[in-house]
Homo-oligomer: A and B are copies of this chain.
Amino acid sequence: MSRRTRSDNSIQGIPEATIARLPLYLRALYALADRDTACVSSEELATAAGVNSAKLRKDLSHLGSYGTRGVGYDVDYLIYQVSRELGLTQDWPVIIVGAGNLGRALANYGGFATRGFRVAAMIDSDPLIIGTSIGGHRVFGPDEIERVVTRFGVMIGAITAPATSAQSVCNRLVAAGVTSILNFAPVVLTVPDGVDVRKVDLSIELQILAFHAQRRSASKAHPTAEPPAVNGCEPPSVNGKRPVTQQVTRQAHDEVTAEAIGS
């Protein structure tokens, strides 16, 4: 279990929360540069990025003193500095595993390449898909993962395969040398130390939205009332056979729990 992420940040000193916002600032900066804005104040940039100006200044101060007091930040200069900090002054080849609905969408996505990310190759296990081209990228079989990763020096992989194969795909990617993984499958991936996993989970986002939506409509309906006497499951008794508590209809789902791999 890699818990090193937290301490890694402190040894160099840039908080994770700041890192997560830098791409936001970068996007706002590019938008400003497009409008030929040469210089921007923390207030303006913060508004454009949707954050507090104090937070923005503190975030940027972690990269260095790149502003001019009384004036603001030079847009092009700041774009360069933020890009450098994020490692965007180089190109990043990305391997996409799973050429289904989502994998295709990614491969066809133009915005993918706009920040130096390039699709090195697509991988799929379906013989009918292998050999075809998607978004101008040839699809290879899973056995080519090692070769592609080595050949192009791929460090970043996106997993858009079904949840059931996500962990094994992940293992193959890591074995081949990939150290950063963007996971779209609804699974908790287990990876050795030194490998970075981020997940994009649409289902979770929707559920969070549902929670807030529920709360909103509940407080609309009963401004200050108890929740309407939930008549759901009774607390189950442990001794004896378990009572019938199947009020929630079991729904189909494709999620699996990840099997641990040797760290």
Using CB atoms and an 8 Å cutoff, list the residues of chain A in contact with chain B. 5, 8, 12, 19-20, 22-24, 26-28, 30-34, 38-39, 48-50, 66, 68, 71, 74, 76-77, 79-81, 83-90, 92, 94, 101-102, 104-106, 108-112, 114-117, 155-156, 179-182, 186, 188, 190, 194, 196, 198, 200-217, 230, 232-233, 235-236, 238, 242, 245-248, 250-258
Q: Given contacts A105-B104, A232-B80, are A209 and B156 in contact (CB under 8 A)?
A: yes
Contact between B200 and A202 (Cβ–Cβ < 8 Å)?
yes
Residues of chain B within 8 A of A30, CB atoms compared: 250-251, 253, 255
Chain B residues positioned under 8 Å from A83 (CB to CB): 248
A192 to chain B, nearest CB (A): 13
Q: What residues of chain B lie closer than 8 Å to A87, measured between beta carbons?
A: 210-211, 213-215
- A196–B209 alpha-carbon span in the complex (Å): 7
In contact, B8 and A207 (Cβ under 8 angstroms): no
Beta-carbon contact of B49 and A188 below 8 Å? yes
B156, A74: Cβ atoms closer than 8 Å: no
Contact: B86 with A207, CB < 8 Å? yes
**Which 8 pairs, one residue from A and one from B, show the smallest C-beta to C-beta distance?**
A87-B214, A50-B188, A101-B105, A180-B209, A23-B207, A23-B204, A74-B236, A80-B233
